[in-house]
Structures are given as C-alpha cells and as structure tokens.
Structure 1
Amino acid sequence: MNSKVKRIINILYSITGTYNPFIIAELLNIDVHYKNLGGHPLGHCSKILKETVIVLDSSLVDSPIRFFICAHELCHAIKHSDIASYYSLNELSKGKLEYEADIFAFELIKLLFSIELTEESITDEMANDYGINFIN
C-alpha cells in the first residue's frame, strides 16, 4: 500500500474506528446524497457554501459498488478539497487525482471487507462485487 494512503487511512481509522466510507463521511460532517446523475459520473464531490458534499448516482442505492464510489469521492473530499472542480484541471492533473482516489478507495474497501473475506479471495471478490477493475 502507498505509504501516504496508508497513513491517511490509519489516521481516519484512529479518529472514526471504522473503514466504512459512509460512516467516515458522516463523522467528518460530509453529507452523502443520492441524486440522478444519469449514470455518469457515478459520484461527485463538491463544496457548497463551505460544506463538503458527496453526491452518488441514485442507481447505486442498493449496489455494493456504492462503497467504492463513496470511498473514491471521500478521498477527493479529504485530499483535494482545495480544488474547486476537477473540470478546471488539465488532463494530466485530473488523471493523477483520479488515480490517487482509486488507490485510496481500493485500499479502504479492502480493509473494510477483509474481515468478511479470506485473504486469498479479497481481490477476486472485490473485483467482482465492488466494481474495482484493477489489482494493485
């Protein structure tokens, strides 16, 4: 695991006692809402009147992928909160921020579900059930 990501996740766990991105967001006073985003993007993180808000597509309400998408957006809320909008970035910067958020989400969700899954099945199970399309 990337040392910066590991440090951030460890700090979050020490503050919140969980790896669940929804509970972490709640404890950090980050609102999570479901809205119809038309399926793309599946999530978005914004600051509205100095309040950080994560919006997830309404298609994710009952989907286990919601954990990964919420964790991805949580990373943006924590690490990239000073950036007004990812649309204002150039493609190289946007790609780097998205990659960082994917790595963070992958590692957080891996820890969240590691109790339920055997060590051998974590990556296969996550790739199939939680929408993770890369293996670190």
Structure 2
Amino acid sequence: MDKLITSLVKRYKTNCPYTLAERLNIHIRFADLGEHTRGIYYCKLRRRFIVINSRLDFFWQRFICAHELAHDRLHRGLNRFFLDEHSLQNTNKYERQANRFAVQLLSLNSGIIPGETLEQFFTRTGIPYEMAQYCRREDFI
C-alpha cells in the first residue's frame, strides 16, 4: 500500500484525493446519504463514481474521498453489498484497508513535529481524529 500511495503522489504531484480522483477519471458527486452512510464507490457502464455525503464537514468529506479512492485502487471489482449478502468474506477488512490508505495518503510528507501529540498531528493535517486507530505513531516519525 505504501508503494501505491507513493507512486500515485509522485505521478500526479499531489496527495489531494479530489485531484487524484479527477486525474484518474473518477467522477465525484455530493448527495445527502442520510445519517449512517458517509460515502459510496461504484462503477456503472465502465464509469467510476465516488459519492460523498453532503451532510459531512469539509474534513470528513476529504477523508471519505480518500477512503473511496482506496476502494478504487485496492478493491476495484468488489461489491461490498454483494459480499455482505452472498459471501462469508469479512468486508470490515476492506474498510480498514481503505481507512489506513486514506490516513497515509492525507498525511504523506507531514511528519509529527517533536512534542506534538497524535491528536494535534491529526488536527494539523485535517484528518478526523477518530481515524487515529488506523495508524501507528511510527508511520509519521
């Protein structure tokens, strides 16, 4: 996953998930997805889409864009709804991978400043602190 993120950022010269999605021809839409759905990634007629819940604040929307971008890069062709209904596969594994990808992408080249707490680091980089469980402090030193 580290190599994938590094190569994406190097190739497109940005770690902005919106810019990366645009350059990868992934269409981004915003819609009211209710209280429990933050985002969706899907393909239809060979066109790829990320739909982000418009109820979320800017930082959560940015994180969700990165998370859904991870599904495109890591899990393309997998349909979570199908897996939930028709298989015994653990879809949480894919969600954890997507969260870790998003944290690593958004924090790339932003190491922890000496004396800075993990919470301060996440605030500075604009990543929701709830996602701290998907990283290790060593990732940012």
TM-score (norm: length of structure 2): 0.79
**Unaligned 5+ runs, structure 1:** none
Equivalent residue letter for 1:87: F
Correspondence for 1:66: 61
Assess if the C-alpha contact under 8 Å between 2:28 and 2:49 holds in 1.
Answer: yes
CA distance in 2, matches of 1:91, 1:23: 35
Assess if the C-alpha contact under 8 Å between 2:15 and 2:105 holds in 1.
Answer: yes
Correspondence for 2:82: 88
Q: Give the superposition deviation at 1:87.
A: 1.2
CA gap 1:65/1:51 in 2 versus in 1, 3 angstroms: same
Identity of aligned residues (%): 29
**Unaligned 5+ runs, structure 2:** 137-141
| Aligned 1:37-48 pairs, distance under 5 A | 37-48=33-44
1:26 pairs with 10, 22, 28, which one?
22
Correspondence for 2:139: none
CA gap 1:92/1:119 in 2 versus in 1, 3 angstroms: farther
CA distance in 1, matches of 2:115, 2:16: 21
Correspondence for 1:108: 105
Correspondence for 2:118: 123
Q: Whose radius of gyration is greater, 1 or 2?
A: 2
Give the 4+ runs in structure 1 shifted more than 6 A: none
For the aligned residues, what is the CA RMSD?
2.3
Equivalent residue letter for 1:20: C
CA distance in 1, matches of 2:34, 2:90: 25
Higher RCO, 1 or 2 (CA under 8 Å, sep at least 6)? 1
Number of equivalent positions: 128
CA distance in 1, matches of 2:97, 2:115: 25
2:74 pairs with 72, 79, 82, which one?
79
